[in-house]
Structures are given as structure tokens and as C-alpha cells.
Structure 1
């Protein structure tokens, strides 16, 4: 409650002019409900807002240039005003105060008591989204700022963490619900015990942990790098321990948000998609959950065993029965009869690890790794150690007691050294000697087993031909009759009077093979649903495409994909094994390709170095041959309509196989092109005539191939952010080509180990596929000829769809463009999916 004198002050202030369309509140100004402050560059707005079905009103900050109102900060989140009587002003003490005019009391105040009052305090909404209270007109002293008191959102340039001078811990807390900005249960905050690290909590329960800062990023966030959008700043000194990020391109809106559902996510506004796109979030998988496997254990989704949890070296399950029931919550214990702190103790290394919870760890930043090991050996309570700074290789973190919340990544992470007794070290030594002694015997045994295996495989193949694959319903699947209840009459196969027959899998077989569609078996997710790895009862590995009930792929697309793939046989096309239609489920069963998609390699900073130029060129030729087969050599002329890196799968020998025929169309032998009102595919790969006019032909795939060809050479997506004038790959390559600098675009991971002439020819061919008008594009057979022969090539004309930094689209077609995008979201019926 405010005293009568302060209430009278408010009424006097209320009589003065209010602030509207400015960015400052002065000492004699007020901001009423209905008026707003707008930052100088018009990026943010401060004003009153409220849920649609409520009379509650709040003072908040939201984006001005985003059409969907997105509130990033709330002043009175736990004290709403009923109705529109709210007034925001600076009181006689120099504080910002939110006043309820109907009831004559304050509902929120900055409540700064230690400042020295000056004559002209002011509050300004900054272009960063920070609302700052200055002590006087000079604006040299900040007495309060909203960045120190965030709600559920971390904005660029906002610091999260501890101010050691003031003791302020800047943390995020979720809203109570979508319609209630009140303080929720989910919190993201830094704790300084041991080493600084952030926790995501729901109440007092820990949901997820970042791990300590290791010099490059948080130990538990291997994907955290200063990439094409962000610049990350971690500060740890006597004054503060904070993390912040900035965005290189100010036109990009990105925010990190704590949700009431218990997740932390990063969102970026996609204007063309008219929505916020989530591209990172946690917890993502079971191993993200805090201490999912209990103490002294390791969580590894890539483990070859069926269970993601395993005990650390020198440890065994604490409760074996629970462990075998896949309940590892009680963790592990030292192996029975093994004690540490004796002569001969040593360490075993766990690679690519998220190091254990460091709240019980000791840190010495002056020690080298070898000194760290020696120090740990001298202390019987020391259970593990690791380097504190993987970028510099120095600093020592040692753990004393339980090791909790360890997980293993497929790459990145860091090395963790687990203390084991002498008997474990001796066992490793004996195993090594025994291996050398048994090598000759093993060679003989292998030869015998190889002969037996050949005989067994011959017998098994013969048996399979006779009886079919175990777990399948042994009947043909007819498109003329079998799908009558799933979408009507099926199309006749061109050139064949017979029905298409594929194996039908029973739903129970698929459920068993994928372990009830477990998250550990999930390979990825596309616009039409998720893909899971499975293993049939006969041991054969499969990939199951489970169509989502809410996806865009209905019965026609489902029939289409089966019909096409079942009839197509080529080494560069994925092989369909069968399908499952039971209850509400529709699933496709493919051969399993262990190396995932082409995008998994060429767009990843670490993995793309595994693919040298010769392998990339082989993949380019393999894709070309596969497309020639679809367009010219098969009994059916197939237009794929969704050719992109994620739809190119790689087998064990890294041979490419074209997949995902859900959007493909069959053409007649003499048919040149077709028209559709249902534009489907992926922005960034669509040809201009198809994206803008609905016209498609074999040439439509040629344009998509041109984009894919340039991506393979550059190791970057067409939608990547470029520092140059253009913001997509096509424009970037075109500019360098005209400047005769095409070799500058080659993926840096190739390190000049490529044939320059062959690379230039590939770039040339790619640009020929991307010219503005379809009649100028080569056929796929012409593409193969140009790639494999040293013939003179015509100079390419200007490509279509060159996106410039000012968001303009350089394309001279008379067709209008309403939705402009350079992302990779697939679309159907001109809507992104």
C-alpha cells in the first residue's frame, strides 16, 4: 500500500501528458493502458496486454515487427490489474511504479531503495528489448533494468547467471499457463556450487543440466557453438559468472524460452512460415533426463545393447533385477570384492562424455591433465577426473563421491577418466596378452566358421525363398482390391495388367521389431511422420516409416509410395520390403541403411570431413543414375518432386539411394508435363515453374538436383546464412561464378584435396540446372554426360530464386510470389508442413 502523499502524487502525474509512440517515460509523464512505448529502431513495444478471455491486464514487452504478439517480459506477472485503469509512471522516489487507478494502490514497483535521487529520472525502452531506468537526464547511471529480472525469455545480449557483486541470480521461470504469465514451476537457473552450471528444474526436481563450461561450450550441449547465427559469450571472473548470446544479423529474431511443460527451447521467427520455428530444445531424449541411469552409470543411446544405461568401468548394477527390467534409477555400485585406494589403482577413459554433476566436484584451474591424475590418485575419495578446459587442455575437475548424470554423445563431448582398482587394470593387461596368444588359434577358428557360415547362408536363403520372411502375412497386397477401403480405386500400373504385390507385415511384428516404437530406435522425423529402426525375428534390420495421423500424407500418397517403390529396382533407389495397414496405422517397411541420410554428413561440422571429394563425386553420379532410371529407363516415368539431401540415404559403402516417393507422380510415355493446384515438396528445392504455376515435369527434378549438387560441393544448405549480399546458396554461387571465384565456395573440410577442374565442371552443371527458364535445363542423361566427359559447356544464364539481404526475390517471371522462403520445410497445398 502506498501512503496518501504518494497516491496524490500519482493523481498529479496522471493529469500530465502520457507517453505514446515514444521510447521514454520522463518524471512528468505516464503510460496509460492503450498507449505504448516503441524502441528507437521499432524492434520492441512496451505496453499493456491481457489474455483474450480475461479482464486481467499486464505491462509487458513484445516484438513490434512480429505479427503474432510474442511477449518477452512481464512486469506485474503475479499481480494483474482488473480492467484498463492501469498507469505506469516514475514516482517521487525515482522508482517505476505500476498503479491501479480504480483502487488507488500500486501493484508493481522497481523498488530500488539504495539510489541517490536526482531531479530528472527517466525510463527508456531500448532497441534490445531492455527497459532501463536511469538516475538522471545524463543516462550515465542505470538504477534498474528489466534484463536483470527476466520472466520466461532470454533475449540476445541479455545475461543469465550470477552478479557476484550484488548477489543477483538472473534466471528464467515459465509462465503458469499459455493464458497466465504468472510465475510457473519450471525454472532455468545457474548454480555455483562446485563449478557453475545451469539446471532446468520443475519445483525442486532437476530435469536437465547443462554441465560445466569446458572452454568451448557447456559439456552437456555439444551442439552449442558460435555458428552461422550466434556469437556466444561466457564470462567468469570476480564480478560475474554469466552467459549471453548475440545475433550477427539484427533482422533475425531469436529467443530462448522456458515452457510450463518443462522444456527449454530456442525459437527463431520465420516470416515466410508466419510462425516461430523451434530448432533446439531439451530434454530431447531419455539420456537428457537428469540422472536417468542413476549413480556411477553412463547413458548412451548409441549403445549396441538393448538398454541405454550401462555401469561405468569397475561398477555393476546395484539392483540387478530392476536393471534387467530397464529400471536403472538405483544406479550402480563398486564390483563386489573390489576396493580402490591401493597400489596399482588406475583410470579408464569414457570418451565423448557429458561429465558428471560438478556440484560435488573440486576445481583447480592451474593443473595440467597429468597433474590432475596424480592428485586424484593421492586421494582415496576421488572417483574421477577430467580437464576443465578442452580447448586449452588445462584445468582439473575431480569428483569425490557419487558420479551422477553422465551421458555419452556420438561425437564431441569430452574425455572422462574413471578410477578403477588394480584388479581392473591387471585384467586389461591379461586380456591384451591373451589376445596376442590366441591370435593364431582365432585365425583357424575363423576359417572354419566362415565355411560353416557359407553353408548356413545357402541353406537359409533357400529356406527363405520357400517360406517367406517370418512375421509376415503370406498373401499378396493388391492395389485393385486390397486398398478399396482406404481411399477408393487404385490407379492401374502403366504397361502391366497385373496387380502390384508386396508383403504385408502384422502390426504386432512391427511393434516388437521397433520395441514399441521406442525413442532409442527413432532415426528421424519428416513431414509425413517418424522413421524407426527395427529388427525382425529372423535378425534382418529394417527401417519403418510410421505415417502420422495428422500428417499431410493420406491414403493416395501411401498407395503411391508402395506402388512406385515396389515396381522400381535400381541400385540407387531404396528397396521396399513391405507395408502394414492395421487399425489406424499405416507404415512402410524399407531396407535399413545404417549411414542415415546425406544431410547427416554434408551439413554437420564434424562429419562432413569424413566425406572426401572422390566420395562426394561418386554420390553425385549415383544420384544422377538413379534419376535417369526414374525418368527414362524404368517401365514407368517417375517425377520424384521432393529430391533433397535428407531423401538421399547411404548404405554401408556410402552408396546413395533415393528415398521417400510419397510425393512422386507417374507420367505417361508421351506425357511432357502436368499441372496441379496442390503444390507439394520442399521450399528451396522447388523449380520456379512448379512453385509458382503448379507446372511439373522431369525437368522439375533437374532443378532440385542442381540445388542438391551445389550443396554437396559447398557442404552448406541452400537456406544457410551467408555473410555476403545473398542469403541463399544459389545467389552465393552465382555471384562467385561471375567473379571467376567458384573454387572459393568449396567445402573447407576438403582442404584443397580435390580435382579443381572436376569441381568447376560440377558447379557449371549445377548452374545449368538452375537457370531461370525450364527449356534451358538439361535432362538427367545430359547431366551425366556433361559430368563424365570433357565437353564444352554452354555458359549458364541467371538462376531463378536468388534471395538478397533486403528480402527481395530476383525472379522475372510474371507469376506472383506470395510466400517467400529459403528454408527447408516441405509444403503441401501451398502450406508449410
Structure 2
């Protein structure tokens, strides 16, 4: 009987132990996790414990996927303080502090999180199915691993800065596949001007993901009907951050690799592997400021760098040798003292320039933005913060324009230029449009004349036939009957010759498919443009200039 009771107690104990293990996503105060034991999230998506990366024998506390891709680590606690053996232990105090100790209670890492705890409000640590390790006190968040990213950003994780505490959530690469300590590469949300994401290699700025424009990041493909994930940008007095959430059952993560690539990776169940969904920096124009100040990079041009309108290479010899770092300078200086001395040239479809030295206002209109730029002698350009619904908000650049590139999106910027330079640009554009219009109109005149002439002849012959008259037209007579063109304005050949200085080449303004187009000034001061029909002997058509 006693033996039977002992077996029952052992069985019950085993059942309780197994039940606890199956639901072990939480530990309470004064409990520990030793090397070899783990916590598993409720849906068994993530697991936390000690591991050794790659070929290394060092031990780290980390979080990795359990349900898929076992061993894909998304967070590491003691990155800079590895444990040389398997003596590591994660301890949790009743005041909410997480610590890692090794050997004889040697402190390896601490969350530095404490809270005043009452006996009726127990503190627990829990691993969530989002991959977030959290410390709770009666549903009040004390600490979370999402505030301290490693090389990975997971859905729901904030990427940016807490302006109240100064906490900066950034991505830092591993040193190598075998070493999770902080490597050379990092991605941060820079808030020195209008927020933007910068990619660094140590102290060298490598690349820049343009600022949020309401639809997406300027300079990154905008997926207008994205069914996979949604993006959110928050900017207020307390925090500035980006966050993305998944819309479907797919699994994604953003990672900066040990060799400096920033990628969105998506799990493909069929091949049991991670697929590169997107790469944030993919071509030559993604190199920061490849074309220097006031240069524009276009991946569809060879070479890719050109100067903005009204600018020219600062160092022509270096520029011609494909060294564009020195950028461009103005052809004509600005005149800030005169309120009417400067104007703005619209540059369409671009990734906006570097915003570290910028000023912004979320409520101003585009017109108010222009006025604010004109009043500030340091302002070199402006644009709308949000390009949705015809634009809103104001962004001013207060220094040289760096890292601008052509891009296929609805983002325009307005570049400050000297009024004289701007007038020349407008006049040139206007002349080109007028010439194009004249050529287009005059090129259609032959068809109009032929159709009108044919219709008139058919009508006249019908009338002649009805009257029984024999109306004949001499095919060899090259002159046209004036009654057929009563609505047209004609000029004598001598007048045409005089107006064109005897058809001088300087009066030629273009050439269409039917012949050359000339312009001239008649004795009465009227300007005319006309087209000589190639192949039609002694026939000229005239049109007043538009």
C-alpha cells in the first residue's frame, strides 16, 4: 500500500513537472534559467537560452526562432561579455532586475531595471510569441528586450528614439557569423534634422534611407498595395520611431548583416529557408552623396552624376574623370537682400536630399513653406513633408543639398536659384515649348490643306455636273485658284523674301517631316512663321506666330 502511494505521488509529480515544462514561457522572482534550460513562448515561436554561435565555443544568452529556422538568433543579451564555459545562469530578482552570472556569481550582464514592488503585485518575466522578452508588474511594463535591438528588427518593434529617456533603438551588426559582439555596421534613425535612417560603417556614412513622406521612405520603392506588411511613422514631443506590422501569416525580419547589408528577409516554408524580400541599398546611387553637393544621381544615366539646373561642376577636371565628390557650384550667386532677387526651380521625381541640416513644420502649407525659405538666407530649398493629398507640412534645407537622386515617385523639391538664372531657364523652356507647338501645328497643315482641297473640288465638280457645265482644271497649271482659299491669308513672294533676308539660314527655326520652318518680321511689324512644303513646287503656307 505504501509502495503504491509512493508511485502515485511520483506520477503526479511527473505530470506537474511535464505540465510546467509545456507552459514554461514565464518565470517568477528568484527563479533562474541555467545553461541547458530554456523558456519557450506560448505558441512555441521563439525560445530563449544559452547558445554558441557558429564555430565559437563562447556562450551567450539569446532569443531564436523555435518553430522555424531553429538557430536563427534575433537578440543577444551579453554581446560584449561572453561566457567561456557552461556555467552561465539567468537570474531574476523580485524587484524586476534580470542578470546573467557565471562561475562563482560573477556578474556578466544586467538589465538595470528595478521597480518598487509590493507583495500583492508579483513581478514576472515572459517570452512572447513576438520574440519580445518582457518584465511585468501587474500588467505594467518594466523592461523589454525590444528596447535594445541587436542586428534584427522584428514586426512590432520600435526603431527610433525615446526623447524623454534618451533611449536610442538602433541596429548593430555582428562582428562575424561566429561573434555577436557589436560590429562595424549600424543603422540609426537620425533626429538632428527631419528624421531619416542612416547606414554607417564605424564613423563613415555609407548610405541613407530618405525620410518618411506619408507613403513610404523617400528613395525606397513604395508598395501602394502592400499585402504583406504596413509601415508606421510616429513623431511627437515624446518619441520618434518607425514600426512595421505584418498583415498576413508570413514571417519577416529586418537584419543588418555582419558585412553591412540591410535586408528584409521572409521565411519560405517550401524551401525551409529565408528569402531576400528586399534590399534597402541596391545600386550605385545608394552610396551616400556619390555626386557631391548639388549633384543629382540617376541610375539610368552614364555617367550617373549631373549638376542641378543653374549649377556647374566645381572641379571640371575631376568631374570629367568620374570623381564627383566635389559636386557642383552655382553659376550665379543668390541675392538674399532683395526679396524678389531669388526664385525656385522645381525638380520632379527625386529622393530628397540629406535632412540632417534641415528645419520642418508639420502644419504649414507649401506656399507658406516657400515664403519661409525666401525669408531665410540660409535656405537652399524646400518641399512638402507629406506628399499625400497634394502635400502638407514644410521641410527646409539650410545647407548644401547632398545625396539627391532621380526616383520614380511623386516627390518634388524646389531649389533656390538666382532670379536671372531662373528667368533664363524659364525663357529657354518657353521657347522650346513654342517651337514644339509651332512644328506640331505646321506639320499637320499639309494634311488639312489636302483634305480641304479635295473636299472643295468634289463639291465644285458636283455643282458643275449639275449645271451641265464643263469645268476643267488645267493639270499643268501650277497656280492655285484663289477662290478655293478665300479664308487664308496670303503674302507676296517678295514680302516673304524680304522678311527672311532672302531665306537666310539664321531665320530657320526648325524642320518637320514636310520641310523647313522659317520665321520673320514683315514691314508692318507682324511676326509670322511658315512651312515650305517639300516636293510641292512654288507653294508656301503661312501662319501667324503664336
Under TM normalisation by the shorter chain, which class is it? 0.7 to 0.9
State the Cα RMSD in Å.
2.3
Q: Which residue of 2 aligns with 1:106?
A: 107
Write the distance in 1 (CA, Å) between the matches of 2:368 and 2:257: 43
1:215 and 2:214 aligned? yes
Write the distance in 2 (CA, Å) between the matches of 1:77 and 1:291: 33
Write the distance in 2 (CA, Å) between the matches of 1:332 and 1:361: 20
Q: Which residue of 1 aligns with 2:290?
A: 292
Alignment of 1:219-368 (within 5 A): 219-223=218-222, 227-249=226-248, 251-303=249-301, 306-335=302-331, 337-341=332-336, 342=338, 343-368=340-365
Write the distance in 2 (CA, Å) between the matches of 1:85 and 1:226: 51
Alignment of 1:649-728 (within 5 A): none
Structure showing the higher strand proportion among its residues = 2
Tell me which structure has the larger Cα radius of gyration: 2
Write the distance in 1 (CA, Å) between the matches of 2:402 and 2:315: 17
Deviation track 1:459-507 (CA, whole Å, cap 9, x = no partner) reads xxxxxxxxxxxxxxxxxxxxxxxxxxxxxxxxxxxxxxxxxxxxxxxxx
Write the distance in 1 (CA, Å) between the matches of 2:403 and 2:280: 15
Write the distance in 2 (CA, Å) between the matches of 1:145 and 1:357: 32
Deviation track 1:510-547 (CA, whole Å, cap 9, x = no partner) reads xxxxxxxxxxxxxxxxxxxxxxxxxxxxxxxxxxxxxx
Q: Shift in Å at residue 426 of structure 1?
A: 2.1
- Contact 1:222–1:413 (Cα < 8 Å) also in 2: no
- Contact 1:38–1:44 (Cα < 8 Å) also in 2: yes
- Contact 2:387–2:410 (Cα < 8 Å) also in 1: no
In structure 1, which of residues 391, 396, 400 is the aligned counterpart of residue 398 of structure 2?
Answer: 400
Q: Please, which moves more after superposition, 348-357 or 85-94?
A: 85-94
What secondary structure sits across from 2:168 in the alignment? Answer: strand
Q: Which residue of 1 aligns with 2:154?
A: 155
Write the distance in 2 (CA, Å) between the matches of 1:359 and 1:186: 20
Q: Which residue of 2 aligns with 1:117?
A: 117
Cα 1:98/1:444, change in 2 over 3 Å = closer
What secondary structure sits across from 2:427 in the alignment? Answer: helix
Q: Which residue of 2 aligns with 1:25?
A: 27
Unaligned runs of 5+ residues in structure 2 are 1-16, 440-507, 517-546
Count of equivalent residues: 424
Q: Shift in Å at residue 257 of structure 1?
A: 0.3
Q: Shift in Å at residue 194 of structure 1?
A: 1.5
The higher relative CO (CA closer than 8 Å, separation ≥ 6) is in 2
Q: Which residue of 2 aligns with 1:47?
A: 49
Cα 1:379/1:153, change in 2 over 3 Å = same
Write the distance in 2 (CA, Å) between the matches of 1:149 and 1:445: 67
Structure showing the higher helix proportion among its residues = 1
Alignment of 1:793-804 (within 5 A): none
TM-score (norm 1): 0.49
Q: Shift in Å at residue 176 of structure 1?
A: 0.6
Write the distance in 1 (CA, Å) between the matches of 2:376 and 2:162: 34
Q: Which residue of 2 aligns with 1:34?
A: 36
Q: Shift in Å at residue 344 of structure 1?
A: 4.5
Write the distance in 1 (CA, Å) between the matches of 2:93 and 2:431: 83
Write the distance in 2 (CA, Å) between the matches of 1:281 and 1:87: 38
What secondary structure sits across from 1:426 in the alignment? Answer: helix
What secondary structure sits across from 1:168 in the alignment? Answer: coil
Q: Which residue of 2 aligns with 1:182?
A: 181
Q: Shift in Å at residue 444 of structure 1?
A: 3.6
Q: Shift in Å at residue 97 of structure 1?
A: 1.0
Cα 1:444/1:59, change in 2 over 3 Å = closer
- Contact 1:365–1:395 (Cα < 8 Å) also in 2: yes
- Contact 2:359–2:396 (Cα < 8 Å) also in 1: yes
- Contact 2:35–2:89 (Cα < 8 Å) also in 1: yes
Cα 1:118/1:109, change in 2 over 3 Å = farther
Q: Shift in Å at residue 266 of structure 1?
A: 0.4
Q: Shift in Å at residue 380 of structure 1?
A: 2.6
Cα 1:220/1:118, change in 2 over 3 Å = farther
